[in-house]
Structure 1
Amino acid sequence: MTEEFKTLRNRMRLFLLNLCLCCGLSAANFVNGIAFFVNNEPVTLFQLYQVMQGAKVSREEAMELLISEKLHEEEAKKFNIQITEIEIDEELQRIAQRSNQSVDQLKSIILARGVAYSHYRDEVKKRVLQKKLYSMIVTENIELADESELKSYYDQHHNDFIVPTHISIVRYSASSQPLLEQLVNAKRSISSIPVAPDGVLSAPEVVETAKLNPQLTALLMNVNVGSFTPIFNIGGEYATFLVSSKSGGVQIPFEEAKRDIFARIMMERENTVIKGYFDKLRAVAKIKVLRLE
């Protein structure tokens, strides 16, 4: 082996070593590199990229979402909010029950979508924390609606309290929830009634609201014409209902509507209080941007 060849080989080794080091450092800088600070709390480039990809938003929108998340975390610490594994399990149980499923069935659906169950639990934990935080913020900053406000709302939203006597629906059912999800999420005009794909059964029906149980009536009332209800697990079969039309009308008396009116007013006030609270925090937050790409 000539000296010239040895020198060339050593130079090549050195070049490859430097290349590997540079690539390694670039990857590390991407994962650990700080994009910006929110009140001295760092947010990495990797976190920014994850939100951009996951939420399919622009870099600026992703930054605002992460700022909001940091401000929520900061306030949760200030209120000393703690979330236990039992609370997460209870929330998962509620989520499953809303679709008439077991937690195991919910878990299977999450995994079938390609989402790690541990990641889903983390998201549920954030949701529980947010509920607790909002409850504390609202309790300190909200005023309850009185009788005169309820009556005023009823008079101004008279048409909201007319219940249709008949609702035309199309029931879609399948043995697999993903089949119904594809149907519900498919693009179509609001006025069209989708044809059931293979594996999905459909059955049109006109129901009388007076003969329905109050929960189902409330559910169908809150679904716009041309839209689907959530997907339910009914005796091992999955089903969703498309509301195709509503007809007739009976006015709900004020006394019967009071509870619903109170809930509406308080929800509007809660949303206003929470938005105002975090708008103020955002306005005074110290944001230091280092790099966004």
Structure 2
Amino acid sequence: MNVKTKLSDCLRPLVLGALFLGTASAHAAVQQLDKVVAIVDNDVIMQSQLDQRVKEVQQTIAKRGGGVPPTSVLDQQVLERLIVENLQLQIGDRSGIRISDEELNQAVGTIAQRNNMSIDQFRAALAHDGLSYEDARDQIRREMIISRVRQRRVAERVQVSEQEVKNFLASDLGKMQLSEELHLANILIPTPDSANSEQLNAAAAKTQAIYERLKAGADFAQMAIAQSGSDNALEGGDMGWRKAAQLPPPFDRELSAMEVGGITQPARTPGGFIILKLLEKRGGETSLKDEVHVRHILVKPSEIRTEAQTKELAQKIYDRIESGEDFATLAKSFSEDPGSALNGGDLNWIDPKALVPEFQQVMADTPQGVLSKPFKTQYGWHVLEVLGRRATDNTNQAREQQALNVLRNRKYDEELQTWLRQIRDEAYVENKLPGAEQTGTDQAVQ
């Protein structure tokens, strides 16, 4: 079992970065010959941290079966990831965000449980994969802090109105996009917010060159790791499952019509130039919910009626209905279910899942229009009659929730990328790696 991969899958909803791509402690002991590779506001990133994270990334890539990019390529990508993570952790520290030991223990326990392990087994599995339990806990704590920082700074600002949901559902695009989900990967060549024509042309040319190599058979994930400036570059550009409506035009319609495995031509977005690959498609089915129209009569044991007497009464009621007496009339006279007695025992159309298992089973086994024999549940003794069965189209309700999720996720993604770029641009960052491109604030601190 590859614990690193499974743990990363477990914590993926917390943040965009994979949990165990890196395991170095944020406060790793400075070894002899260690050196600073980046100054990040009030903190630094050491060569030992970068080396450890690069090593872990290389191992992860190798296990996927693809070629591992040169270390010189990974160094810049991984360092940029570490810089952005460090900035978010500093924001969390200034904001007073703390993860208690109890919360951390719960998170660790959840991860172990998802991997079908006890805590002791979890420790052993970590050790087998070269991870210490203490470093794993520290990494989980940092990921939880980053998640809370993003929740406060980004997610809480995302609001979707009912009118936006209605407008989306009424649009041709909304109707089309809610029919399916797309699993995507991306390669982003970013451009500065105030890029000049020379910078735009250079980025466009670089993106086009990448596109030509992809069309010639280059591996998309490896190209993303080596070239992409997106926050998910080290995951091979994997964006997860998205609705096309979450993406900027012209990708919305292009991807819906595309075959799995296809890639889009380079396109300009607010963040730069982007190429998308369609990895999988799913969804589009009608949402149906099974319902049963049923009526019943319930009689309960009491201080003045024993279990045997209650069963006997249910049998007498059954015999009277079988002899031709009216079900509804007997229900009004005998049923002790206050919710349905006055309605002649009618429960109306109901989702079988809302009923206790014994009632579900008898209802499923009873043909429409046939009276069941008396049976017992935790509530007492029943007889029931199935009046009808149907599959209700629950698509509208499901589509409303889907639309809300699509719009919220789209706004969150846009806000997150804008916010990450903003805190990176505003930070005091000095990249000390040889050959590093110094831009924005980096230039100012040289």
Q: TM-score, normalised by structure 1?
A: 0.54
Instruction: Describe the SS at the equivalent of 1:251.
Output: coil
Select the structure that is richer in helix.
1
Counterpart CA distance in 1 for 2:44 and 2:123 is: 32
Aligned CA distance change for structure 1 residues 105 and 122 (closer, same or farther; 3 Å): same
Aligned CA distance change for structure 1 residues 101 and 290 (closer, same or farther; 3 Å): closer
The aligned counterpart of 1:251 is 286
Q: Which of 27, 30, 34 does residue 33 from structure 2 map onto?
A: 30
Instruction: Describe the SS at the equivalent of 2:38.
Output: strand
The aligned counterpart of 1:109 is 125
The aligned counterpart of 1:46 is 48
Counterpart CA distance in 1 for 2:166 and 2:124 is: 49
State whether residues 88 and 125 of structure 1, in contact with CA within 8 Å, keep that contact through their aligned partners in structure 2.
Answer: yes
State whether residues 35 and 289 of structure 1, in contact with CA within 8 Å, keep that contact through their aligned partners in structure 2.
Answer: yes
Instruction: Describe the SS at the equivalent of 2:154.
Output: helix
Counterpart CA distance in 1 for 2:282 and 2:105 is: 42
Any residues of structure 2 matched to 1:279-290 within 5 Å, and which?
279-290=421-432
**Cα deviations across residues 154-206 of structure 1 (Å, max 9, x unaligned)?**
41314328xxxxxxxxxxxxxxxxxxxxxxxxxxxxxxxxxxxxxxxxxxxxx
State whether residues 160 and 408 of structure 2, in contact with CA within 8 Å, keep that contact through their aligned partners in structure 1.
Answer: yes
Return the offset for 1:139: 4.4
Counterpart CA distance in 1 for 2:99 and 2:166 is: 39
Alignment of 1:76 onto 2:92: yes
Any residues of structure 2 matched to 1:1-293 within 5 Å, and which?
28-31=31-34, 33-56=35-58, 58-146=74-162, 147-149=165-167, 151=169, 152=171, 154-160=174-180, 250-252=285-287, 253-290=395-432, 292=434
Instruction: Describe the SS at the equivalent of 1:143.
Output: coil
Give the residue type in structure 2 aligned to 1:126: R
Give the residue type in structure 2 aligned to 1:108: A
Q: TM-score, normalised by structure 2?
A: 0.37
Counterpart CA distance in 2 for 1:87 and 1:248 is: 35
Give the residue type in structure 2 aligned to 1:74: Q
Counterpart CA distance in 1 for 2:144 and 2:283 is: 41
Give the residue type in structure 2 aligned to 1:254: N
State whether residues 179 and 283 of structure 2, in contact with CA within 8 Å, keep that contact through their aligned partners in structure 1.
Answer: no
Please tell me the root mean square deviation across aligned C-alpha atoms, in Å. Answer: 3.3
Return the offset for 1:292: 4.9
Identity %: 19
Counterpart CA distance in 1 for 2:166 and 2:401 is: 14
Give the residue type in structure 1 aligned to 2:78: A
Higher relative contact order (CA 8 A, sep 6+): 1
Aligned CA distance change for structure 1 residues 126 and 250 (closer, same or farther; 3 Å): same
Instruction: Describe the SS at the equivalent of 2:140.
Output: helix
Give the residue type in structure 1 aligned to 2:51: Y
Counterpart CA distance in 2 for 1:80 and 1:291 is: 32
Give the residue type in structure 2 aligned to 1:120: A
Counterpart CA distance in 2 for 1:38 and 1:145 is: 38
Instruction: Describe the SS at the equivalent of 2:44.
Output: strand
How many residues align structurally? 185
**Cα deviations across residues 116-139 of structure 1 (Å, max 9, x unaligned)?**
111111111112112211111124
Specify every segment of 5 or more residues in structure 1 that has no aligned partner in the other structure, as ranges: 1-26, 162-224, 226-245
Instruction: Describe the SS at the equivalent of 1:30.
Output: coil
State whether residues 45 and 292 of structure 1, in contact with CA within 8 Å, keep that contact through their aligned partners in structure 2.
Answer: no
State whether residues 168 and 403 of structure 2, in contact with CA within 8 Å, keep that contact through their aligned partners in structure 1.
Answer: yes
Q: Which has the higher Rg, Structure 1 or Structure 2?
A: 2
Residues 119-128 or 41-50, more deviating: 41-50
